[in-house]
C-alpha cells in the first residue's frame, strides 16, 4: 500500500493514522481502482476519510468529510463523521424497547433518546481489517452481550469494495447467539462539490429520491408513527429538486422539527430486500453525481444541519449544511412501531445489507 503524497491522490499518510486504542492498532487503508481513483478509510469506526473522484473537467476532489490523522478522527466534534454505525443506527425513543416480553434500557445520548448505538457505538470501536486485494477490505467486529444495553453477542463483517465503475459497495453481514435488534448503516457525509475551506453549502445540490412516503418526526426527532405521503410537501423529491428550495421552510412543522431535512424516507420497493435505486444527487457546478442503490427499506436524508464549522482534512472546514448524508437503513424507533419492517435478528439467521454509492459526472 502506497503511503506518500506523490503516490496517493488523497495526500494522506499512513503513519498519521497509526496508534493504539484499547490495545488495538489503528491504520489507514486505501482502495484504488483501475482508473486510479481512491477510497481511503481507517479501522477506527470504519471511518471514510477520502473519496477521490474527478469533476466534469477531470479535476480530482475529496467528496467525503473526514480528518487527515487519527487524533482528529478520535476527537472529532462530529463523532459519527463518515463512520460505521451500530448496533442500532438512528434513534430509539427514550432508549427503551421490549423484546420477547422483556424491556431493555439503552444509553440515552441524544436528549431523551438513544442514538446510533449509544455512548460507545461501533463508530468508536477499532475494527479488525483483512485486505482482500487493491480494491477491497473486510472489517470485522465482535459486539459483546450487554454492550450499551443490547442483548445478544453479535459477530459483524463489513466489506468495503471500490469498483472500476467508481462504486463504493458496502456489504454487511451479522449473526447473533441470542435474539436481538440490529440496524447497521454508514454515516458518510458527502460533499460532491469537494471539501474546501469553507466547503460549499449543499443548497444548490439537486436531489431525486425514489420514495412516495416519509416518516414525520416529533420535536425530538422520533417518528410519530405516521407514514406520510411526500406529495404536496417540501419532502417531495420524486422529481429532481435543489435542497435549498425548501430547506428553510420553517413554517413547515417537519422542516422545523428536523432543523432542515433529517428524515427517513420509505423507499419504493417491488419486493422486500431487493437491491434498487434509492437516490440521485447532482452537484451542478462540479457536475459530480452520486447514485445510491440499497437492499434496505429506508433512507435517512440528513442535510448536515448540525455541522458547525469543524476543521477537516488538509485545512478544509465543514460549515453547517455543507454535506448530505444518505444513510441506508431500517426505520428509526422500529422496536416501538410493530408495523415498521422488523429489525429483529434470531440465532441461526444472518443479517445482510448491500448498499452502493456510485460516483459519476454529468457534463
**Average pLDDT of 28-36?**
98
pLDDT at 7: 80
Q: pLDDT category, 2, cuts 50, 70, 90?
A: very low
Distances (CA, A) of 318 to 49, 182, 196, 243: 14, 30, 8, 17
- pLDDT bin (cut points 50, 70, 90) of residue 1 is very low
Interacting residues of 96 by C-beta distance below 8 A, sequence separation 6+? 103, 104, 105, 106, 336
Give the distance from CA 221 to its chain's centroid: 17
Mean residue pLDDT of the chain comes to 97
> In this structure, what C-alpha cell is assigned to residue 278?
434509492
Q: pLDDT by residue (tens digit) across 254-305?
A: 999 999 999 999 999 999 999 999 999 999 999 999 999 999 999 999 999 9
Q: What grid cell was written down for 67?
A: 480528518
**Would the pLDDT of 171 be above 70?**
yes
Domains recognised in the chain with CATH numbers:
198-351 (2.70.98.10)
Exposed (0-12), middle (13-18) or buried (19+): which is 157, by Cβ within 10 Å? middle
Please tell me what DSSP assigns to residue 315.
Answer: G
pLDDT > 90 fraction of the chain, expressed in percent and rounded: 98
Report how far residue 30's alpha carbon sits from residue 50's, in angstroms, rounded to the nearest whole number: 9
The answer on pLDDT for 163 being more than 50 is yes
Per-residue model confidence (pLDDT) at position 4 = 43
Q: What is the mean pLDDT of residues 106-134?
A: 97
pLDDT in tens, 71-92: 999 999 999 999 999 999 999 9
Does the pLDDT value for residue 3 go beyond 70? no
Contacts (Cβ under 8 Å, ≥6 apart) of 138 = 129, 130, 132, 157, 158, 159, 160
pLDDT in tens, 211-234: 999 999 999 999 999 999 999 999
What is the pLDDT at residue 363?
83
Residues labelled as active-site residues: 187, 327
Sequence-distant (6+) residues with CB within 8 A of 128 are: 24, 43, 139, 140, 141
- Asked whether residue 5 carries a pLDDT value surpassing 50, the answer given is no
Contact 106, 148 (CB under 8 A): yes
Q: pLDDT band at 6, cuts 50/70/90?
A: low
Amino acid at each position: 500500500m502506497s503511503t506518500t503524497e506523490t503516490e496517493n491522490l488523497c495526500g494522506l499518510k499512513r503513519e498519521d493514522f497509526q496508534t493504539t486504542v484499547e490495545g488495538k492498532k489503528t491504520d489507514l487503508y486505501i482502495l484504488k481502482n483501475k482508473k486510479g481513483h481512491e477510497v481511503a478509510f481507517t479501522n477506527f469506526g470504519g471511518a471514510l476519510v477520502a473519496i477521490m473522484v474527478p469533476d466534469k473537467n477531470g479535476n480530482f476532489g475529496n467528496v467525503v468529510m473526514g480528518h487527515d490523522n487519527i487524533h482528529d478522527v478520535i476527537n472529532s466534534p462530529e463523532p459519527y463523521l463518515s463512520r460505521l454505525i451500530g448496533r442500532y443506527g438512528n434513534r430509539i425513543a427514550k432508549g427503551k424497547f421490549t423484546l420477547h416480553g422483556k424491556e431493555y434500557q439503552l444509553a440515552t445520548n441524544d436528549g431523551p433518546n438513544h442514538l446510533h448505538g449509544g455512548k460507545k457505538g461501533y463508530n468508536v470501536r477499532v475494527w479488525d481489517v483483512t485486505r482482500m486485494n487493491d480494491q477491497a477490505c473486510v472489517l470485522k467486529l465482535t459486539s459483546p452481550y450487554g454492550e450499551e444495553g443490547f442483548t445478544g453477542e453479535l459477530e459483524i463483517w463489513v466489506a468495503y469494495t471500490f469498483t472500476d465503475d467508481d462504486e463504493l459497495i458496502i456489504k454487511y453481514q451479522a449473526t447473533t447467539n441470542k435474539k436481538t435488534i440490529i440496524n447497521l448503516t454508514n454515516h458518510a457525509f458527502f460533499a460532491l462539490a469537494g471539501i474546501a475551506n469553507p466547503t460549499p453549502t449543499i443548497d444548490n445540490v439537486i436531489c431525486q429520491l425514489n420514495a412516495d412516503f416519509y416518516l414525520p418526526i416529533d420535536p425530538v426527532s422520533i417518528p410519530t408513527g405516521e407514514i406520510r405521503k411526500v406529495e404536496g410537501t417540501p419532502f417531495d423529491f420524486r422529481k429532481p429538486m435543489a435542497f435549498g428550495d425548501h430547506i428553510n421552510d420553517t413554517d413547515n412543522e417537519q422542516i422545523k422539527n428536523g432543523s432542515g431535512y433529517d428524515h427517513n424516507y420509505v423507499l419504493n420497493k417491488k419486493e422486500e430486500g431487493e437491491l434498487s435505486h434509492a437516490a440521485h444527487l447532482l452537484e451542478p457546478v462540479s457536475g459530480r453525481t452520486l447514485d445510491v442503490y440499497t437492499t434496505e427499506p429506508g433512507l435517512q436524508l440528513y442535510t448536515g444541519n448540525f455541522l458547525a464549522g469543524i476543521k477537516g482534512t488538509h485545512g478544509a472546514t465543514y460549515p453547517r449544511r455543507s454535506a448530505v448524508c444518505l444513510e441506508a437503513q431500517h426505520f428509526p424507533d422500529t422496536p416501538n412501531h410493530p408495523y415498521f419492517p422488523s429489525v429483529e435478528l434470531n440465532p441461526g439467521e444472518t443479517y445482510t445489507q448491500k448498499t452502493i454509492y456510485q460516483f459519476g459526472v454529468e457534463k
